[in-house]
Amino acid sequence: MTLPYEARVAVVTGGSSGIGLSTVELLLSQGARVALCARGEGRLKDVVSVLARDHGADRIISRAFSVLDSDAVNAFAADVEASFGRCDLLVNNAGQGRISTFEETTDEAWRAEYELKMFSQIYPIRAFVPMLRQSKGAIVAVNSLLAYQPEPHMVCTSSARAGVQNLLKSLSLELAPEVRVNSVLLGLVGSGQWTRRFAEREDQSMSREEWYGNLARKKGIPLGRLGDPSEAAAAIAFLGSHAASYITGAQLDVSGGLARHI
Ligand code: NDP
């Protein structure tokens, strides 16, 4: 796949693992300069040293902080502007899902989940919008099919994700015509979250292939497997590029056919 990212600058939150890391790699390979962040400094340093070796250190900025720290997000935007002078794409990817039913979810957990889902969008968008307006850039939010297809065992994640879709739709109107705002709706993608759940599997004798295969069957994924992070990255990079120049306020389902709504 070739996408027009030469001379472009992209920001990817949660870029040290899984879908975020795959997106960073793809954007670098398409010629972009990329700024990435994550909380864990050690892992971020490790991945950046490999990325710098493969793509050049001068094309990468990395900072360790939580996207829920608005001052740190603003400082990151200032660093991107000082070093790269522009921002063409913001990929809001940082985060994780919460597994709990309504009965199990405490008030504190509800607040934490809503804070993560909403402010992991709000703070970076607020910080990068001035640059995105100038470059006529794009925002791509990494969201979940749970927004439209809630699951009782992920009750607060599902409802918070629906709120995020609503916010993105409003933003696609408020930020038009300068900035396009789209999202990808993921089903099950075999990245960090599923690697952790695989490590905690009940039957430790099961191989990764067997466990993932069973999971895909149990969930009824028509394509019969979990997605690869690179497949999510391809959709993100498409929506963020000029190849999608007439697309805003849209969501692209990357779920192997798991979406049941029309
Ligand atoms: P990973 O765990 O592999 O990667 C998550 C990345 O986000 C890591 O780099 C992590 O680094 C970073 N991160 C997490 N929280 C924060 C934070 N508060 N501030 C900054 N960085 C943060 O997960 P995935 O690649 O699977 O997930 C990527 C996104 O896709 C997430 O938002 C997830 O909820 C969503 N998603 C994933 C699905 C899947 O099946 N994989 C399904 C639906 C949605 P660190 O921990 O060091 O901060």
- 35 shares its domain with 154: yes
Q: Using one digit for the tens of pLDDT, what is the confidence trace for 139-153?
A: 999 999 999 999 999
Q: Using one digit for the tens of pLDDT, what is the confidence trace for 207-262?
A: 998 999 999 999 999 999 999 999 999 999 999 999 999 999 999 999 999 999 88
Which pLDDT belongs to residue 262?
87
Q: How far is the CA of 19 from the centre of ligand 1 (A)?
A: 8
| Nearest-angstrom CA–CA distance, 261 and 29 | 34
Distance set, CA 38 to CA 22, 120, 126, 224 (Å):
14, 12, 18, 31
Q: What CATH number should be reported for the domain holding residue 139?
A: 3.40.50.720
- 33 shares its domain with 147: yes
Question: Which residue puts its alpha carbon closest to atom 18 of ligand 1?
Answer: 66
Which pLDDT belongs to residue 1?
64
- 194 shares its domain with 171: no
Where in the sequence is the domain holding 222, given as residue range(s)? 189-226
Q: Which atom of ligand 1 is nearest to the CA of 191?
A: 26
- 181 shares its domain with 57: yes
- 117 shares its domain with 233: yes
Q: Using one digit for the tens of pLDDT, what is the confidence trace for 62-97?
A: 999 999 999 999 999 999 999 999 999 999 999 999
Kindly state if the Cβ of 124 falls inside 6 Å of ligand 1: no
Phi/psi at 171 (5° precision):
-65, -35
- 98 shares its domain with 40: yes
Q: How far is the CA of 93 from the centre of ligand 1 (A)?
A: 6
Task: Report if residue 259 sits inside a domain.
Answer: no
Q: Is the per-residue pLDDT at 2 higher than 80?
A: no
Q: Using a cut of 0.95, tell me whether the model's pTM lies above it.
A: yes
To test the pocket of ligand 1, the residue of 191, 225, 251 to mutate (highest count of ligand atoms within 8 Å of its CB) is 191
| Nearest-angstrom CA–CA distance, 125 and 164 | 12
Number of domains in the chain: 2
- 136 shares its domain with 233: yes
